[in-house]
A and B are shown apart, each in its own frame.
Chain A
Amino acid sequence: MLLRHTTAKEVDRKALTVNPAKTCQPVGAMYAALGLHGCLPHSHGSQGCCAYHRSALTRHFKEPVVASTSSFSEGSSVFGGSANLLTAIETIFTVYEPDVIAVHTTCLSETIGDDLNQIVSKAKEDGKIPDGKRVIYCNTPSYVGSHITGYSNQVAAFIKFFSTSTPKKRNVINLIAGWMEPSDMRELKRIAKVMETRTILFPDMSGVMDSPLTGKYDIYPKGGTTVDEMIATGDSKFSIGMGTYCTQDACIKLENKCKVKFEVMEIPIGLKATDRFIMSLSRHGNVPVPDSITDERGRLLDLIADNSKYFYDKRVALFGDPDTLIPLVEFLLTLDMKPVYIVTGTPGKHFDEAMTEMLKERVPEAKFRSGEGADMFRLHQWIKQESVDLLIGNSYGKYIARDENIPFVRFGFPVVDRPGSNSFPHVGYVGAINWVTKLLDVILDHQDRTCAEEKVELVM
């Protein structure tokens, strides 16, 4: 057994996390910063942070992830990292020539209390920031929140440093993307185009984290929200934030700064979340929903109806990030499945409230937990107590899936052992069709492999 020491018996744990369902803030800030065109993320801390975050993102996306570090030594840890950051800014603008440096902190620079505002002002005074170039920053202490919090903080920093309102409002909707795949961002832009709405999507990792192979490498690929677009978000007439944890803060900051009204909704995963997204886009963009979108929805319904017998009452365990787990659980309920165990290491009340609301009547036996103590070890213990028919989560789930012989769908961050999350969207009706086929693939494969020989069916 791969996880041979995991037993069904739970003991009360107050201090030990085993097999976490989250990671730390800076990696989220790094990912979000890659969604700004011409931006180099910069990790203000030890080299190891930057190396780990780049490796983690690279393993997931199989794409170059370029970021720099302040390379703290023991001296900088004692006397402060100001000199390191000043040198870094000069080095980066000379050697790597980005338009923007997006600095995020680490537990090290936060613990010693480096003041980024002051350091960046000093860099400006000293003439280390060339004309037309920018250094933005956000605080991402690793001992608060999770990678999701770091993503949110970076997106909020985009608002703080770029969004500007002029007297002229534009008929544009801001689409603020929570943590999703480049393929999802591409799909959202397609939907907006089909709907004939004018939108600015940010951050936008499509074209950055799924760049083509051409023989020519560009450290700053073609994709990403441009600085001009980011500035213009202050003149948009409305913002749709996708994912409470990742985008609510940015939405509020943009309203406070530029009076742009907003609505925070779930990432459009599954039927109902997509319905709400389309309705919102239609209402705020003041456009009718085109027939082609209604047809996409109809094709999804057709697929679900054709296969509902394979979903009904199936018990599902999930782990991952709250902004994606909430709509995903809703979608599983749409499929008449039973999400029975759900954990996310990211702390926050919204997750617990949303789960209670969705599950209290439909799946009263469901167990869910967020924040401290909500780890994959606990999830596995619940599974040991009473098994499930399906497991959904990042690649670390494969160890549980193999030990317990459970069909497993990879989803979330990081997925490091299968390609695909980059290639096919998980959002919108098209994304939901991908979801249904993915779920069916593993459920039916499992049946084909494990049922008695005489029960093997050709037609299913």
Chain B
Amino acid sequence: MSKEIDTTVKVEDLSTFKETVLAKYPKKIAKKREKSILINDFDANPQIQANVRTIPGIITQRGCAYAGCKGVVLGPTRDIVNITHGPIGCGFYSWLTRRNQTKPENPDDPNYMTYCFSTDMQDSNIVFGGEEKLKQAIREAYELFHPKAIAIFSTCPVGLIGDDVHRVARQMVEEIGDGINIFGFSCEGYRGVSQSAGHHIANNGLFKNLIGRDDEVRGSLKYRVNLLGEYNIGGDAFELERIFEACGINLIATFSGNSTIQKFENAHTADLNMVMCHRSINYVAGMMETTFGIPWIKVQPIGAESTAKMLRKIGQYFGEQELIDRIEKVIAEEMVEVKIAQAKALVKTKGKMAMLFVGGSRAHHYQNLFEELGMTTLSAGYEFGHRDDYEGRSVIPTIQIDADSRNIEEITVTKDETRYNPRKTEEELKALAAEGMEFNEYEGLMAQMQKGSLVIDDLSHYEMEKLIEIYHPDVFCAGIKEKYAVQKMGVPLKQLHSYDYGGPYAGFKGAINFYNDIEMIACTGIWKELKAPWERESIVEAEYVY
């Protein structure tokens, strides 16, 4: 199933990389890192070590549970007042830094995305407890803004000093009344081993506090879907909303790009869940299926072909010719411009080499776009993925639960007595499966990557330097912390968290944007000017003497 690595890309033996970096590490570290670096051979069922602690002192890309919970999953919702309970830093750093765009329908609609709310804990709060200050902060937030919902996010000291944010939430709901919804997240930064713990905590909170609170079925009864794990970076959600509308697909809720509380509360009235970023949101998909009977499929609307594939899956799922025809019409129309842009970019990008180290799904999805650009992904890995994100969900039962994972609440949900409604019968699901439609399945990154490519989990700064030094890729994809170190080495870095403030990159128009941006990178002239004329001359001189 895996393809051989493209032999036109001239690379040194990839195994030398592993030997080189491991030789540098102290023995114990080398032993541990060895299991997280492998040469891809999907057919041989390789096992990668992932979602384990980063060794202290190793310079990592990873962040913390708070960042995953408040920053990633809950951050993009515009009408919740998100109060960070803690010292000022955590709230400050997660203030507008993730580019989650949002567009209120009316000028008077609530939008708190541009605000940062914090209890700014002081030493006296650490010593005597911060619950009273938190309560007062909630009172003040309500008096100033009258939001429908307030969420509380715990930072490291909160858990240690024993502030109970959940109790405070319950008490304040009672005190304020007025139908307000207040809920807390125990997303202290030390939980788990990366942002991933925070995603899980956020998923639990979404399910317990928001999903299923509003049963009213609004709009068309046809083709009702949710998009999960889409955060509207650079307007991705806007592009996907546009495509769904063109196809007549009724998008009930996006978790959580361009979202509102009401959309979350109403999400269980949809008939299909589509999971985009598997890592950050698969728990919600699973819980909604168990509770409400909504099946989920994995989609990758990154890359034009892959977007078309998603739409066709939706058509297949609902099985109505009218929808299938409309989807095909949209794809045909959109592909005209896509093909023109692709052909233009290919001239400059074909045969080039990329590396991707980012997130929990982007290092996979963006390979679609590089394939469309005729580029080879030589190496890739996640910042906070789990084994199933690499090897596919089939390995989940074999994943050992360690102490760090055990500390994260695992909520057990059951069928909702009155509202459980299987959207498809067993027979229908079987028939769809026979046609090749996979439910509750994700194949993972390694299935798509070529045989012989390098897969590395939780890439360290040292390993990154070596990758660049040895292979000198044409473009390296990572985040802001990596960007300028890589570029100092003369290799352009494309940020895949922030898109370098461009985008959208999802959907059809997004693919066109990405082609253009990678073409631009391939053609940027400044990288050819790194040597001053006198430095170049001295090389010539040296050769002459030789």
Contact = CB atoms under 8 A, between A and B. Distances in A.
A47 B140 contact: no
B387 to A, nearest CB: 19
B530 interface: yes
A56 to B, nearest CB: 6
Nearest to A6: B115
B92 A20 contact: yes
Interface centre among A15, A88, A214 (most CB of B within 10 A): A15
Contacts of A58: 480-481, 483-484
A284 interface: no
Given A75-B403, A85-B56, 7 more contacts: A20-B88, A46-B189, A74-B191, A74-B403, A108-B156, A217-B488, A372-B120
B490 A215 contact: yes
A344 B148 CA distance: 31
A95 B64 contact: no
Interface stretch (B34-42, B106-114, B278-286): B106-114
Contacts of B117: 16-18
B88 A142 contact: yes
B304 interface: no
B425 interface: no
Given A74-B407, A111-B156, A142-B88, A3 B115 contact: yes
B115 A55 contact: no
Contacts of A92: 57
A265 B207 CA distance: 56
Contacts of B546: none
B480 A55 contact: yes
Contacts of B160: 77, 108, 111-112
A378 to B, nearest CB: 11
Contacts of A215: 488-490, 530-531
Contacts of B115: 3, 5, 18-19, 377
Contact of B64 (A51, A55, A216, A377): A51
A54 B111 contact: no
Among B89, B480, B483, residue most surrounded by chain A Cβ atoms (within 10 Å):
B89
Contact of A214 (B125, B144, B465, B488): B488
Contacts of B531: 215
A247 B87 CA distance: 23
9 contacts: A15-B136, A18-B117, A48-B63, A58-B481, A66-B461, A71-B60, A88-B57, A94-B25, A111-B126
Contacts of A18: 115-117, 144
Contacts of A46: 64, 156, 189-190
A377 to B, nearest CB: 8
Given A17-B117, A24-B89, A74-B407, A144 B123 contact: yes
Contact of A90 (B57, B89, B486): B57
Given A55-B481, A143-B125, A77 B57 contact: no
A27 B56 contact: no
A324 interface: no
A334 interface: no
Most buried by A among B56, B119, B139: B56
A270 to B, nearest CB: 28
Given A11-B144, A58-B481, A108-B160, A143 B87 contact: yes
Interface string A164-203: 0000000000000000000000000000000000000000
Contacts, number: 266
> Which range holds the interface residue count of chain A?
35 or more
A377 B143 CA distance: 15
A252 interface: no
B118 A96 contact: no
B259 interface: no
B161 interface: yes
A15 B87 CA distance: 12
Contacts of B144: 5, 11, 16, 18
A384 interface: no
B60 A19 contact: no
A49 B89 contact: yes
Contact of B136 (A16, A111, A211, A399): A16
Contacts of B55: 71, 87, 91
B57 A89 contact: yes
B396 interface: no
Interface string A1-36: 111110000010111111110111111000000000
Given A16-B117, A214-B488, A56 B111 contact: no
A400 to B, nearest CB: 10
Interface string B126-165: 1000000111110111011100000000011101110000
A234 interface: no
Interface string B19-57: 000001110010000000000000000000000011111
Nearest to A67: B59
Contact of A16 (B119, B462, B487): B119
B89 A70 contact: no
Contacts of A19: 95, 115-116
Contact of B122 (A27, A71, A143, A213): A143
A248 interface: no
